[in-house]
Each structure stands twice: as C-alpha cells, then as structure tokens.
A and B are shown apart, each in its own frame.
Chain A
Amino acid sequence: MRRPAAVATAVAEAARVGGRGRRWIVLTILLGAGCGTGGQDGRAPEGIELSDAYAAEPVTTDVAAVYLTIRNHGATPDTLTGAQTPIAGMVHVHRMAGIGGAQMRATEAVEVPARGQVQLRPGSLHLMLMSLTRRPQVGDTIEITLQFAHAGAISVRAPVVSYLDVSERATVGAQETPQ
C-alpha cells in the first residue's frame, strides 16, 4: 500500500538533509568557537580572522563560489557586510536554506558572534562571485576582500580547487547548520 503522506515526509527529510547529524554540527561549532589557532592569513587586529579559504573552479564566467571560515576573536560581535575581488563584477553572500534544498537567498549581512565563528561551506553559506573577468583555474589563487562593520576590510587568498574537491568537503546536513 502506498502512503503518499509518508513518502512526502521522507522526501522532505531526505531533501532537506537529515536531522540526525545536526546536534553534532552545533556542538562542533560551539567547541570550535573561540579556539582559533591564529591565522596564516587575513588576521586583523580587531580580532577577525579569515582562514581555510578556497574557491571552486567555475564552469562558466557567470558565477563562482568561495568558501572560508571567519573567526571572531573579539569580545563584540561583528558583521560581514560585503566582499570584493578584482576578478568579479559583483560579490554576494548567499545562503542555501529552506525546506528541501537550495532555496538560495542573497544575504544582506552575516553576523559573526563574539568569540565565535561562521563557516561559509558547501551547501550552506558562500560568497558568490558574478560576472567574472576571467575563468580562474585549479592552481590559481583568488584574492578577495571581505568588508566587516567593525573590523573593516580584510583580505584573504583563496586557492582554486575543482568542484570534485569541493564535493569531497560537502557534508550531509550542511544546509541545516544554524548560523
């Protein structure tokens, strides 16, 4: 016997990626908060540190994605308000959210909690580069400058990796990570 409602629930569950891993993700973030190891790059005196940046080699010159971790070592929250890079006409911060998948939204601003961190990672938040002046390739590095309300402009270098490499960093449940 078919149970359409049950199927609908299961599809929704699978599509929005399961809840079982969620608490662990939250826990990981809490544990990770405030224990940054100090930046190789992008460290600013105000206490914002950018690390683990990478870009996906774009398929077209229309659009590319950059991922990174933003740590706030300071005692006050800060806000990511935008980003720029010489190779793109425009950069948006995008959040993948919503039931069932990639309900993609341009995000006006992303708060980085005091002594906390925000991860821009596959299936969740990313910097979306648009109108690229060229198509960067694996092995290239993209220089990108993030703008924070308090810390000001902070730059980071994002090595370009393949989408296959990005897929191997993707995790089921990424879309549910609370930000």
Chain B
Amino acid sequence: MLVLLGAMVLGCTRPDDRAVAFASDGAAHGLRGRVLPAPLPKPDLVLTDANGEPFDLRRETDGYLTLLFFGYTSCPDICPIHMASLGAVMQTLRPTVRERIRVVFVTTDPERDTPERLKAWLANFDPTFIGLTGDTATVNAAQRALYLPLPQIGPADSTGAYQVGHAAAIVAFTPDNQGRVMYPFGIRQADWANDLPKLLAIEWAE
C-alpha cells in the first residue's frame, strides 16, 4: 500500500524497478545508510547562507562529503533529532575526517527561518553546520531533483503557528559531488560514526 502510494506520489516509478532499486545495498560497502542504485548529481543551487550571503552549493561544497537535509527550525521531532545526532558524532570524528564534511540544512520554511534564526538554531548542534534559505521554487526544484517529497505547509492554528511537512531523509554526497546514500530517520550516532569515514574512503565504480 505504501509502496503504491509512493509510486503515485513520485510519479513515474514502475513496479519492475523495485528489484533494481533494492539490488544495491549499503551492506556491500559496510554502510548502514541505503546506497542508491545510481548516483544523483548534487543540486545546482544558489541560496542565502546564515550570514545573508549567496551560497553556491556546488562550488562551496565541492570536494567535501556533504550531508544535505531539508527541514525547519520550528520542527519539534525529526529535524532537531537528526541535527543532535550529527552534531554529537562530529565531535567524535578525527579532525582529518571532520574537516572534510559539510552538513547543510536547507529550510523548508523560509517565511520564519531567517538567516539569523537558522544560524542560532544550528549553533545548538554544531556551529559549523551550514543553514541556507531561499525562495520556495528553488528549494523545491532541488528536492524534486533528489526525488524527495515536496514540503507541505500545514494550516495555521489560533496563534498563527503552523507546521511544515518535509522529507525525513538526509542525502549524502560523496566528495565527487554525487548523491549516493540516503539516511532515513532513525539513523543514530553509531551509524554515522560507522559510515562517515567510509564515505570519504570508498572508491565508487560509477
């Protein structure tokens, strides 16, 4: 049922492709994330960073292991849990590994997530995490290119607060700028600690 819904939401998926999709398993590389059957190019995105400066994703993160997540700071569950986990594991990595990683948090709530707010919020987890904001069309195009479901803005309550539905997965781009592994919600520190050094070391065939 969920698979069917997924196919409907994502459009063109044919049932036959499932066998191909799952033929590729992270276990082959000793990874705990899910290796994609074919790499996805890093989105060509120019957004605004937490200092209000333009940020060209491809140029600024070229050569880095880049962990890309779409979320928002008024999120009580998925987003701070992912960021806390990543923030903690970054402290445990050898500096030579840590220095080669960029964590990029793109807001799906540009209305409320100003650059200042993004910066302050991310600093709770790791001040090196990069917070980006931009117009909805640009951010949505990037998510579409990664086959992620698009954010859904929920209705405002009596206080004007609203929630934003968004993808729960983090996409890992290896230093060759290819998106290769997806990390679903529920991935823990130990999984990151296992995978991050490997993602910097694996030589990919494609």
Binding site for B on A (CB under 8 A): 1-19, 56, 58-60, 62-65, 89-90, 92, 94, 96, 98-106, 122-123, 126, 128-131, 162-164, 166-168, 170-176
Contacts and interface: CB of A to CB of B under 8 A. Distances in A.
Interface residues of B, number: 66
B185 A103 contact: no
A11 B76 contact: no
B185 A7 contact: no
Nearest to A97: B165
B30 interface: no
Chain A interface helix/strand/loop/mixed? mixed
Nearest to A172: B186
A13 B21 CA distance: 9
A66 B13 CA distance: 37
A17 B165 CA distance: 16
Contact of B88 (A94, A102, A164): A164
Interface of B: 2-3, 5-7, 9-14, 17-18, 20-22, 24, 33-34, 36-38, 40, 71, 73-85, 87-88, 121, 124, 146-149, 152, 154, 157-159, 161, 163-169, 182-189
B6 A167 contact: no
Contact of B121 (A10, A59, A123): A59
28 contacts: A3-B20, A5-B14, A7-B21, A7-B37, A8-B13, A9-B10, A9-B17, A12-B6, A13-B21, A14-B183, A14-B184, A15-B167, A16-B168, A19-B3, A59-B73, A63-B75, A90-B157, A96-B78, A102-B165, A102-B167, A123-B168, A130-B161, A131-B159, A163-B80, A167-B82, A172-B186, A172-B187, A175-B185
